[in-house]
C-alpha cells in the first residue's frame, strides 16, 4: 500500500533546470534514506543522489555541483533540483526510499514509477 509518486520531469534545453519531486504515501511509520537513480538509453541504472532522514547528502560525481537533493519530512517528499542540465543527463529518473510501514518491524525498499527527463542540445 506504500506508494511513491514522482513528478517534475520534462523536456528542457541544455543549461536549463528541472525540479523533480517524489511523495511517499500510505501506511508509513517512518522513512529512512531517500534518493534518486536514473537509467539513460543504452546504460544500466546508476546512482544519482541520496539524502538521509537527518539531511546528510551524497552525490554521484556526475551530479556533484549541479544537482541538489533535499527532503521535506512533514510531507514525506524528496526533491532533486537539477541545474546546468546536459544532454547526457537525459534518462528516466527513479525515486527510491527505505520505509518502515505502520505495524512493521523493519525498513523495506520502495521505488517510484520513473519520470522522463530529456535535455536537448
Residue owning grid cell 523495506: 108
- Shortest CA distance to 68 belongs to which of 55, 76, 79, 60? 79
Contact predicate 98/108, CB 8 Å: yes
Is a pLDDT exceeding 90 seen at residue 1? no
Q: For residue 41, what pLDDT is reported?
A: 87
For residue 84, pLDDT beyond 90: yes
pLDDT in tens, 85-106: 999 999 999 999 999 999 999 9
Residue with the bigger pLDDT between 81 and 42: it is 81
Share of the chain above pLDDT 70, in %: 100
The 10s digit of each residue's pLDDT in 32-43 is 999 999 999 899
Residue labelled with grid coordinates 519531486: 21
Q: CA–CA separation, 23 vs 95, rounded Å?
A: 9
Task: Note the pLDDT tens digit of each residue in 51-76.
Answer: 999 999 999 999 999 999 999 999 99
Q: From start to end of the chain, where are the E strands?
A: 3-7, 10-13, 18-25, 28-39, 45-51, 57-59, 67-72, 77-82, 91-101, 107-111, 115-120
> Is residue 27 within 8 Å of residue 84, measured between CB atoms?
no
Amino acid at each position: 500500500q506504500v506508494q511513491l509518486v514522482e513528478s517534475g520531469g520534462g523536456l528542457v534545453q541544455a543549461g536549463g533546470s528541472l525540479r523533480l519531486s517524489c511523495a511517499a504515501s500510505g501506511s508509513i511509520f517512518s522513512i529512512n534514506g531517500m534518493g534518486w537513480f536514473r537509467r539513460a538509453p543504452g546504460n544500466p541504472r546508476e546512482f544519482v543522489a541520496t539524502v538521509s532522514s537527518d539531511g546528510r547528502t551524497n552525490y554521484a560525481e556526475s551530479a556533484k555541483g549541479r544537482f541538489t537533493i533535499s527532503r521535506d519530512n512533514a510531507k514525506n517528499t524528496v526533491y532533486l533540483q537539477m541545474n546546468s542540465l546536459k544532454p547526457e543527463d537525459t534518462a528516466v529518473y527513479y525515486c527510491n526510499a527505505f520505509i518502515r510501514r505502520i505495524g512493521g518491524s523493519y525498513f523495506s525498499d520502495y521505488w517510484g514509477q520513473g519520470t522522463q527527463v530529456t535535455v536537448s542540445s
